[in-house]
Amino acid sequence: MTTPAKVSIDLGTRSGGGTAVLDLEELLATRLLVQGNSGSGKSHLLRRLLEQSAPWVQQAVIDPEGDFVTLADRFGHVVVDAQRGEADLQRIAARVRQHRVSVVLNLEGLDSEQQMRAAAAFLGGLFDADRDMWYPLLVVVDEAQLFAPTAAGEVSDDARKVSLGAMTNLMCRGRKRGLAGVIATQRLAKLAKNVAAEASNFLMGRTFLDIDMARAADLLGMERRQAEMFRDLESGNFVALGPALARRPLPVRIGPVDTQARSTSPKLLPLPEPAAAEDAHDLIFTPGADEARTLVPRRTPTVAPTADVLAQLARSLPATPPLAPEPPPGLPAALSPEQRQAAIDAALHEILSESDAGFRTIAVLYQDFLVRCRIRRVGGDTLSLSAFRRRLAVAHAGINIAEAEADDSPWAEVLAMAAALPEDMQGVFLSLARAAFDHRPCPSDADVARAYGSRSPGRARRLLAYMEEHQVIVCRHDARGRRIVAIPGLAWETDPGDPNAPTAALPEAAPTD
């Protein structure tokens, strides 16, 4: 099928008559934000857009409720079940871009944090695809406030961080990679502003809260007194504005769709004939033949913030009596300061020796560290979370902490430079500095990504660019295209290394006594 110079999508009817059209090519360059309360017709609008544009552009739908899987029967979308590992989702996303297959990522059945991590992995795979695969791709994210929230809420900070980062990449940097973000949200106030602000096209539906009406009016360039109109919009009616839609706010009514969602709005149904009181009692309290005899009530867990949980774990360590001259009979003696430090170093070394340590979150590693310290009877306060992160980064780079913290050590300046970087980048920088100090070949993109806890070479390249922008490293290439990294001010420089080389063995963690 030959694509004409301009493809117009029929969204429905305009106010006063006529067809409401959307310029598909303009949409691919300028992105779209859809807002409306539950029942306003957001999902219906997204379905209409997906159905009308399916013949013209590849599509990927992030579907938290499994509503869009019905597109598979009519338009050939492949349904990707998100109940699999993050690495698998990244690889699947790369194949989606390579083979230009339209897909629906079905997140149904996962809890909020699992949905965020799965969506982030999938979007990361789409974003990190090789340049040769940067074909136009319409990425539709329903209930975007779940993946780019203004606050973490009941999910961990780590999950919010990776999910928000993926959504920001989609909306802020995706255009050059062929990714056109279409995000829908129930409430603008719950959606991160840096994600919403990147959209140039808007379809605003019914909403009731003053703060959401005011933000909708601001985005459409309307006066605050006109914001009341959003309360009066009927389901399926939206106000459109943007280069792909209309130059002035335009009321539109979304047209019909060919497919239906699996979930529908509740409808009133007649109740069954009333039963006698005794029969009704038996129906409720007598288990059926196919029911399990033991029913376990489902309880909603109370999720505490990660920092509070880790602090509680640290406080639970047995305190060592500071002045106890002799231990009680039958118990081992308290560790001396040297023994205590050696036990902490051994716990760190054991954690780093595990093959998957680089891909586990810092919160999980810290809990593992606390358990290992308890096994070694390290009493009292061990390391705070921030101190643990720093010590782990130093040990991961193979740096002797005692020598590094000496006043006359050149590593003291390196540690000060690392402290100016975000915490999750400090380990990468210290690994590069160690390679430069030892005159080893420059780590490859795969090695840098592994030190960061990722499998994405594209992310590794962005990390190096970030550190170079902040003047903590200098990158250059020799005549053969091999990369060299230097540490400014110290005359440390790595040997040339192939950036495309496979992952090498990590250096041993240095003893820290």
Summarize the confidence of residues 479-501 as an average pLDDT: 89
Domain 8-254: CATH superfamily is P-loop containing nucleotide triphosphate hydrolases (3.40.50.300)
Here the contacts of 220-226 (C-beta below 8 Å, separation 24 or greater) are 220/249, 221/249, 222/249
Binned at pLDDT 50, 70 and 90, residue 495 comes out as very high
3-class SS string, 304-344 = CCHHHHHHHHHHCCCCCCCCCCCCCCCCCCCCCHHHHHHHH
The predicted structure's pLDDT at residue 466: 86
The predicted structure's pLDDT at residue 275: 62
Summarize the confidence of residues 181-208 as an average pLDDT: 87
pTM of this structure: 0.56
The predicted structure's pLDDT at residue 512: 43
Write down the mean pLDDT value for the chain: 80
Asked if residue 121 lies in contact with residue 89, where contact means CB atoms within 8 angstroms, the answer is yes
- Asked which of 31-45, 282-296, 369-383 is least confident by mean pLDDT, the reply is 282-296
What tens digit of pLDDT does each residue of 344-383 get?
777 777 776 776 665 566 667 777 777 777 777 776 666 7
The predicted structure's pLDDT at residue 142: 92
Domain-wise residue ranges, the chain: 8-254, 306-317+335-493
The predicted structure's pLDDT at residue 314: 52
The predicted structure's pLDDT at residue 285: 77
The predicted structure's pLDDT at residue 375: 78
Binned at pLDDT 50, 70 and 90, residue 119 comes out as very high
**What 3-state class would DSSP assign to 169?**
helix
20 vs 333: which has the higher pLDDT: 20
Q: Report the alpha-carbon distance of residue 81 to residue 110 in Å, rounded.
A: 10
Instruction: Provide the 10 A C-beta neighbour count for residue 133.
Output: 17
Summarize the confidence of residues 424-452 as an average pLDDT: 86
- Which of 103-107, 269-273, 424-428, 456-460 holds the top average pLDDT? 103-107
Q: Report the alpha-carbon distance of residue 403 to residue 412 in Å, rounded.
A: 9
The predicted structure's pLDDT at residue 311: 56
Instruction: Provide the 10 A C-beta neighbour count for residue 447.
Output: 25
The predicted structure's pLDDT at residue 321: 44
Summarize the confidence of residues 473-500 as an average pLDDT: 90
Percent of the chain topping pLDDT 70: 78
The predicted structure's pLDDT at residue 374: 77
Summarize the confidence of residues 401-405 as an average pLDDT: 61
Summarize the confidence of residues 99-125 as an average pLDDT: 92
The predicted structure's pLDDT at residue 400: 65
Q: Report the alpha-carbon distance of residue 106 to residue 316 in Å, rounded.
A: 40
Can you spell out the DSSP letters for 54-113? Answer: TTTSEEEEEESSSGGGGHHHHH-PEEEE--S-HHHHHHHHHHHHHHT--EEEE-TT--HH
382 vs 117: which has the higher pLDDT: 117
Q: Report the alpha-carbon distance of residue 401 to residue 353 in Å, rounded.
A: 18
The predicted structure's pLDDT at residue 31: 92
- Asked which of 23-27, 205-209, 504-508 is least confident by mean pLDDT, the reply is 504-508
What tens digit of pLDDT does each residue of 131-183 get?
889 999 999 999 999 999 987 677 888 888 899 999 999 998 888 899 999 99
Q: Report the alpha-carbon distance of residue 416 to residue 433 in Å, rounded.
A: 12
Asked if the model's pLDDT at residue 192 lies above 80, the reply is yes
CA distances to 111, 122, 229, 341 from 199, rounded to whole Å, are 28, 21, 22, 53
What tens digit of pLDDT does each residue of 229-241 get?
888 788 889 999 8
Q: Which two tokens stand for residue 428?
A: 């990468």
